[in-house]
Structure 1
Amino acid sequence: MTSTPSTSPWDVQRLPRADGSVFLVTGGNAGIGYFVAEQLSATGATVVLGSRNPTKAEAAMASIRARVPGARVRAVRLDLADLSSLATVAGALDVERLDAVVHNAGVALDDPPRRETADGHELMFGTNHLGHFALTRWLMPLLSAAPAARVVTMGSFAAKSERLDPDDLQSRKGYRPKRAYGRSKLAQMYFGVELDRRLRAADSTVASVVVHPGGALDALTPSRPPLPARTIGARLSTAPAALLLQGKDAGAWPAVRAVLDVDVRGGQLWGPRVFGLRGEPRREPMWNHLADASVAARLWEASCELTGLDPDVVPG
């Protein structure tokens, strides 16, 4: 990628070239992560799918190669719910530098009971937030080796109406799955914002950007064989929702722009243009609660304690 400021308007259908760059997309085998990987593959970059399921990763890579001739795509095993396994990911990438990581993978539970990771953390908080927090620690040397790397954190519109309870990050009191999910994504977004503060204080070349996909529905998403296809009935039943929502292919646009657009800066928030729910990506004003540096700092300290790790933002 070039660092020269862009003068052209952003076009989601005509992405800038990124030959020679290396991008890692966690959860790149399905959903929004798949479309982030597919779109980035069309730029000439090497795209690595982080996935805990090798079979699904193979299917995703086959789909990308079928749609993007000459795509440079491969996979690395990645299980964010197992913190001890993440220390080997950087070595498994087998690269000298990493130009961007998209923290996209996540777990969303719809029903009780409350579940935990192998490390004893609430499953959604442990996977969506703590897993990415720890992964950043291990990837930071590779990110710092790139000229201007980016950490792109995929939040959620569901986090806009949630608030963190610093005294109950593990959702032990009054567990409700939807609330726990929204809070886990909010924790991710706080991490992305706080990470950039620390990167700037360390005069790092790495930038951290927070994005969200708006309202992205499976039923509005184009099929990608051999990945699961959406039925005609499902598409018809959600047709009215297309007025306000979009498919996961469009939900990928803010993250793709945050990776590629030289005009995007660290510490920014990006989402869909129309009511934050659908449309082309645009910069949004930072949500008021996300701007609370004291909550972000408390979360960072708690995350260090819970993972036993502290992402080192100091270059070298």
Structure 2
Amino acid sequence: MPWTADDVPSMEGKTVVVTGANTGIGYHAARVFAEKGADVTLACRSVERGEEAADGIRGGAPDGSVDVRELDLASLASVEGFADRFTDDYDALDVLCNNAGVMAIPRRETEDGFEQQFGVNHLGHFALTARLSDLLVSTDGARVVTTSSGAHERGEIRFDDLHGEKEYSQWGAYAQSKLANLLFAFELQRRFEDADVDAKSIGVHPGYADTDLQRRGPEMEGSRLKLGIMKAMNAVVAQSAERGALPILYAATAETEGGVYVGPGGFMNMRGYPEVQEPNESTRDEETARRLWEASEGLTGVGFEIDS
């Protein structure tokens, strides 16, 4: 039988954070967590849009709670502020969903001078996880779920040009960030295991899901042609955002090992029900993962030792 949202167990008493939860797969994952009784924090760049999303969730979640907090992953100061306020208010974190992201946009820089796709998709989430690591380590059975993409297979970590200052490709930068997501997820699992910590780190991808993610690049370029192509592809090929959220829900709640990769198991892994899959072999390169971890600590100024 296929695994669906109906298979998510009771989440009563669980605390969950979902980044980018006001729209797309993040919204639908947060909605199911709340419906199953979890206390869910929607970590959103726009509090206004987050509150609109929360209003759409609360009516169907009588046993859960929904909290909206500002988090701009393009700002390390915002990440630090979010983490400080969250740790002041909560004493546990059962599930952290590193979900928010940007895709194939013209070159922009974050507040801290990072190329935006690498900065938001990877470095922002790296810093967030680091700043919440004490809560994660102290919560029995905590899980960190990091959203990647099938585009990771075309990625390369360009240590000599991480921010695309010498050469920039919209899709190349996106692929690099998605490879970085999995290298981080699997390295985090190794560090959990080395420290004998009762926690799991899992990478996921949503397949081709119909979300706002695809339109932002064409809109920033002002390309009506590309925007039209994206809309047509979403209509013909994509599965729903609700279905695209299933790998996150599976990774966060199903019986599975840490350090695995979960995605839809249907046509070309672009749609279907979630299953454990094998990512590109480059994601298992421990030396590259170690170098990326060290570079990420240096760039963010956030380091963490995971102690049991």
- Normalising to structure 1: TM-score of the pair? 0.86
Gaps of 5+ in 1: 1-7, 220-232
- Whether 2:278 is the aligned partner of 1:293: answer no
**1:273 counterpart residue number:** 265
Alignment of 1:124-203 (within 5 A): 124-203=117-196
* Structure 2 counterparts to residues 220-231 of structure 1, below 5 A: none
The within-5 A match list for 1:45-56 is 45-56=38-49
- 1:103–1:154 CA contact under 8 A, matched in 2: yes
CA contact (8 A) 1:90 1:142 kept: no
CA contact (8 A) 2:16 2:39 kept: yes
Corresponding residue for 1:98? Answer: 93
Q: Aligned match of 2:24 in 31, 36, 46?
A: 31
* Deviation for aligned residue 1:198: 1.1
Q: Work out whether residues 209 and 244 of structure 2, in 8 Å CA contact, stay in contact via their aligned partners in 1.
A: yes
2:187 & 2:34 partners in 1: Cα distance? 29
**What does residue range 239-278 of structure 1 map to in structure 2 within 5 Å?**
241-242=236-237, 245-261=238-254, 263-274=255-266, 275-278=268-271
Q: Deviations over 1:213-264 (max 9, x none)?
A: 1111239xxxxxxxxxxxxx9999558734xx31111111001111111x21
Higher mean C-alpha deviation, range 208-217 or range 90-99: 90-99
| Corresponding position of 1:210 | 203
Q: CA RMSD in A?
A: 2.2
Q: Where do 5+ consecutive residues of structure 2 fail to align?
A: 213-227
The one-letter amino acid paired with 2:110 is T
**1:95-147 per-position Cα deviation (integer Å, ceiling 9, x unaligned):** 1100010000112243x3x2111111111111111111111111011111211
Larger helix fraction of residues: 2
Alpha-carbon contact 1:12-1:280 (below 8 Å) kept = no
Moved over 6 A (4+): 233-236
Q: Are residue 119 (structure 1) and residue 97 (structure 2) matched?
A: no
In 1, distance between residues paired with 2:111 and 2:211?
29
Shift of 1:12: 2.7
The aligned amino acid for 1:210 is G
TM-score (norm 2): 0.88
Contact 2:41 2:66 in 1 (8 A): yes
Q: Deviations over 1:15-60 (max 9, x none)?
A: 2111100000011111111111111112111111001211001100
